[in-house]
Structure 1
Amino acid sequence: MSFRNVEVRKKANVYHGGKVTSRTVITPDGEMKTLGVMLPGVYRFSTEAPERIDITQGHCRVKRAEDSGWTDYQEGETFSIPGHSHFEIEVVDFLDYVCHFD
C-alpha cells in the first residue's frame, strides 16, 4: 500500500506514554489517515468518527464496545470501529497499521 501526493503532518500523535505513535496523512481528495505503530500492551481508544484499521504487520486482539469477547487480527486483515464508541486492543506482536477515518 502506498499513498502519492499527500500532505504529511510533521508532529507525531503520541499515546500511552509513547507506546503508540502515528503520523497524519491527508490525501489530495481530503481523506485523513494515520500511519502508526503500537508496541506490545493493552490500550483503550475512543472514536469520534468511524475508523477502519488495516494491520500491515503484527498481531493483535480487539474488543469493541459492543463485543462480549476478543477477536484476533493479523497482517493483511482489517477491523472497523463505529464513530462515538471505544475499543480495547491488545497488541501481541509489534503492530504496524493504517487507520482510515470516514
Structure 2
Amino acid sequence: MLKVNQYFDGKVASIGLQTSTLPATVGVMLPGEYEFGTSQNEVMTVVSGAIDTLLPGATEWQSFAQGQSFAIAAEQKFQVRITTDTAYFCTYE
C-alpha cells in the first residue's frame, strides 16, 4: 500500500513504498529551504532538478544534480536548499 505524506505547507510531498529490497520514498520538493531529520540510514538520489544540502557535521553546502546520491546516518538532521522543482528517490535501512 502506498503512503502519501506532505510537509512544509505542501511544498514537499512523498509517496512511500516497499521495493524488493528496502523501504523507499519517491517525492518532489518545490523551491525553498527545509530541514529534515532521519530515523534510519537514508540514501537520497536526485531524479530531476538539484539538491543543495548541508550534511550533518559539514560546514559547507554540497550540490547534488540529477543521478547523484548522498547518504545520511540515522538520528541526524540535515538542511536542503531547492532552487528548482526537484524529484528524488530515497531508500531506508
Name the TM-score, length of structure 1 as normaliser. Answer: 0.86
Which residue pairs with 1:68 in the alignment?
Answer: 59
Superposed counterparts of 1:1-102, under 5 Å: 8-9=1-2, 11-29=3-21, 31-102=22-93
SS at match of 2:84: strand
- What value does the CA root-mean-square deviation take over the aligned residues? 1.1
Distance 2:65 2:35 in 1: 18
- Higher normalized contact order (CA 8 Å, seq sep 6+, divided by chain length): 2
- Structure 1 consecutive aligned stretches of length 4 or more whose deviation exceeds 4 Å: none
SS in 1 for 2:9: helix
Q: What count of residue pairs does the alignment treat as equivalent?
A: 93
TM value normalised by structure 2: 0.94
1:16 to partner: Cα distance = 0.5
Q: Matched residue of 1:66: which SS?
A: coil
Q: How far 1:60 moved relative to its partner?
A: 1.8
Q: What is the identity, as a one-letter code, of the residue corresponding to 1:19?
A: K
1:92 Cα offset (Å): 1.4
CA deviation after TM superposition for structure 1 residue 59, in Å: 1.3
**Unmatched 5+ stretches in structure 1:** 1-7
